[in-house]
Structure 1
Amino acid sequence: MRHSLPLAPQFYVTAPQPCPYLDGRFERKLFTALQGEGAEKLNNALSRQGFRRSQNVLYRPSCADCTACLSARIRVADFKKSRSQKRVLKRNADLQRTATSPWATEEQFALFRRYLDARHADGGMADMDIFEFAAMIEETPVKSRVIEYRESAETPGSVRALIATCLTDVLDDGLSMVYSFYEPERIGDSLGTYLILDHVAIAQRLGLPYVYLGYWVPGSRKMGYKANFAALEIYKGGRWVDIGDPKDHETETHPLSVDPIAEQVARIQLPDTRSG
Structure 2
Amino acid sequence: MTEHFPSKIGLSQQFSCSYLPEQQEQLLVILDHNCYTPERFEGLLELGFRRSGDQIYRPHCPKCNACQSLRLPTYDFMQSKSQKRKWNKLNNEFSIVESHEERPNYYPLYEKYISLRHQDGSMFPPNHLQYESFLFCRWLPITFIELWHFDKLVAVAVTDTMPNSLSAIYTFFDPDYESYSLGTVMILAQIDYAQRAKKQYLYLGYQIDSCKKMKYKSHYKPAQRFINDIWVNSDTNTTKKTAKK
Q: State the TM-score, normalized to the length of structure 2.
A: 0.87
**3-state SS in 2 of match to 1:20:** coil
Matches within 5 A, 1:104-119: 104-105=103-104, 107-119=105-117
**3-state SS in 2 of match to 1:222:** helix
Seen in structure 2, the aligned counterparts of structure 1 residues 37 and 50 have a Cα distance that, compared at 3 Å, is closer
**3-state SS in 2 of match to 1:59:** strand
In the other structure, the counterpart of 2:120 is 122
Does residue 186 (structure 1) correspond to residue 177 (structure 2)? The answer is yes
1:178-233 CA distances to partner (integer Å, 9 max, x unpaired)? 11111112223211111111111111112211111111100111000110111111
In the other structure, the counterpart of 1:92 is 90
Matches within 5 A, 1:2-151: 10-33=8-31, 35=33, 39-93=37-91, 94-105=93-104, 107-151=105-149
CA contact (8 A) 2:36 2:139 kept: no
In the other structure, the counterpart of 2:240 is none
Which among 187, 204, 221 is matched to residue 212 of structure 2? 221
Q: How many aligned positions are there?
A: 234
Seen in structure 2, the aligned counterparts of structure 1 residues 190 and 25 have a Cα distance that, compared at 3 Å, is same
Seen in structure 2, the aligned counterparts of structure 1 residues 47 and 165 have a Cα distance that, compared at 3 Å, is same
**3-state SS in 2 of match to 1:60:** strand
Q: State the TM-score, normalized to the length of structure 1.
A: 0.78
CA RMSD of aligned residues (A): 2.2
**3-state SS in 2 of match to 1:188:** helix
Does residue 202 (structure 1) correspond to residue 193 (structure 2)? The answer is yes
CA contact (8 A) 1:177 1:213 kept: yes
- Which amino acid in the other structure matches residue 102 of structure 2? W
- Which amino acid in the other structure matches residue 96 of structure 1? S
Max radius of gyration: which structure? 1
CA contact (8 A) 1:168 1:179 kept: yes
Deviation at 1:38, TM superposition (A): 5.3
CA contact (8 A) 1:144 1:170 kept: yes
CA contact (8 A) 1:99 1:145 kept: yes
CA contact (8 A) 2:42 2:165 kept: no
In the other structure, the counterpart of 1:171 is 162
Seen in structure 2, the aligned counterparts of structure 1 residues 217 and 100 have a Cα distance that, compared at 3 Å, is same
User: Aligned equivalents of 1:114 and 1:38: distance in 2?
Assistant: 32
CA contact (8 A) 2:168 2:203 kept: yes
CA contact (8 A) 2:135 2:169 kept: no
- Which amino acid in the other structure matches residue 227 of structure 1? S
Stretch deviating more after TM superposition (234-243 or 138-147): 138-147
Stretch deviating more after TM superposition (74-83 or 116-125): 116-125
1:48-78 CA distances to partner (integer Å, 9 max, x unpaired)? 1111111211111111001001111111121
1:102-144 CA distances to partner (integer Å, 9 max, x unpaired)? 4252x21111111112222122221341133234444330121
CA contact (8 A) 1:73 1:233 kept: yes
**3-state SS in 2 of match to 1:244:** coil
Segments of 5+ residues of structure 2 without an aligned counterpart are 1-5, 238-242
Seen in structure 2, the aligned counterparts of structure 1 residues 109 and 9 have a Cα distance that, compared at 3 Å, is farther
| Percent identity of paired positions between Structure 1 and Structure 2 | 28
Deviation at 1:172, TM superposition (A): 2.2
Segments of 5+ residues of structure 1 without an aligned counterpart are 1-7, 153-159, 247-266, 270-276
- Which amino acid in the other structure matches residue 242 of structure 1? N
- Which consecutive segments of 4 or more residues in structure 1 shift more than 4 A? 33-38
User: Aligned equivalents of 1:193 and 1:34: distance in 2?
Assistant: 36
Deviation at 1:21, TM superposition (A): 1.6
Stretch deviating more after TM superposition (89-98 or 188-197): 89-98
